[in-house]
Amino acid sequence: MTGAHAGGTTGRRPEAARRSRAWRVGTPVVVLLSGALLAVSATNSEGSDLRPGRYTDLAGLVAGEAADYRKVENRYQDLSDQVEGLSAGVGDKGVRDARREIAKLRDPAGMTPRSGPGLRITLSDAPEERLDAAFERNQGLEPEDRISLNRFLVHQQDIQAVVNALWTGGASAVTIAGQRVISTTGIRCKGPVVQLQGEPFPQPYVIEAVGDPEELYSSLDADPIVTGYRKDAANPLIEMGWSLEVEERVDAPAYDGVVDLQYAQPLR
């Protein structure tokens, strides 16, 4: 044999060898830099989406999920009407006594409408430019000096704190986005919306309560979580959305949704 292979060499040109070394060295460097950028982003976002759903089609999202919920609710209502009709024709004394007890509990359970004087509170996220400014400002600060980006968004605990304070202040009925709040109402954050009893609602979150306005206001003023939220609303660096209005008449419709009852079972 003759040529390069006869001498046992590979025959690779010097340029090819240099390119191979460049790839071997350059690829790990790029990967490390990418990982560093991801780590910095995660640190600044504090593990959450910095702009949760602000650039998504909120109207389409809410409409789609609300439609699915309404289908379930309509099915539930149809079945409830059937049960009501069947039980009305039963002559058993135990059934009649149970129906009378149910009738007594309908009002305190939120199944009848309520109206009267009260308060209207509106919560909303901070303006987007405030969130963007805080994100940029945090880049040049030590972790302990950075402002938490979670303070720029309304969370479920903020809504729950307002509702609980209203109950404490003697509210006879509370609504969120026009939906009656009852003992089984669940308030959960899901992306850019808040779900109430499974139905999604976008901001702003309007909370209304029927009750003595002075007592309701005093209870809100004494709640530490509500007080912290209001401080962020007054902070020019954050400007969370907050408004409180005294209403001569607040109308709280009867709850007509699905009642999701849960109970504990003893261990065996």
- For the chain, the structural domain boundaries read 14-45, 52-255
Res 85: pLDDT = 67
pLDDT at 185 over 80: yes
Read off the pLDDT of each residue in 28-41 and give the average, rounded to a whole number. Answer: 52
**Mean pLDDT on 148-172:** 94
> Given CA atoms 249, 114, 217, 175 in this order, what sign does their dihedral have?
negative
Alpha-carbon distance 247 to 262, whole Å?
A: 35
Q: What order do you get walking across the sheet with 199-201 strand by strand?
A: 187-190, 193-196, 199-201
Most confident of 20-24, 249-253, 255-259: 249-253
Residues forming a β-bridge with 120: 208, 245
Q: Which long-range contacts (C-beta less than 8 Å, at least 24 apart) are formed by 64-72? A: 65/193, 65/199, 65/200, 66/199, 66/200, 69/198, 69/199, 69/200, 72/198, 72/258
pLDDT confidence bin for 2, thresholds 50/70/90: very low
For 113-134, the pLDDT digits (tens) are: 999 999 999 999 999 999 999 9
pLDDT at 199: 80
How many angstroms separate the Cα of 71 from the Cα of each of 67, 84, 165, 199, 258? 6, 20, 33, 11, 11
pLDDT at residue 11 tops 80:
no
Q: What angle do CA 63, 203, 127 make, to 5 degrees?
A: 130
Q: Report the percentage of the chain scoring pLDDT > 90.
A: 43
Q: Does domain 52-255 have CATH number 3.40.50.2020?
A: no
Comparing 251 with 92, which gets the higher pLDDT? 251
Lowest average pLDDT, out of 8-22, 89-103, 141-155, goes to 8-22
Q: Is the pLDDT of residue 18 over 80?
A: no
Res. 66 pLDDT band, cuts 50 70 90: low
Least confidently predicted of 84-93, 180-189, 199-208: 84-93
Average pLDDT of the chain is 77
The secondary structure of residue 125, as a DSSP letter, is: P
Are 143 and 43 in contact, with CB atoms under 8 Å apart? yes
Distance (Å, rounded) from C-alpha 87 to C-alpha 167? Answer: 34
Identify the top-confidence range among 16-25, 30-39, 77-86: 77-86
The amino acid at 202 = P
Is the confidence at residue 149, as pLDDT, over 80? yes
The CA distances from residue 148 to 105, 138, 143, in Å, are: 44, 9, 10
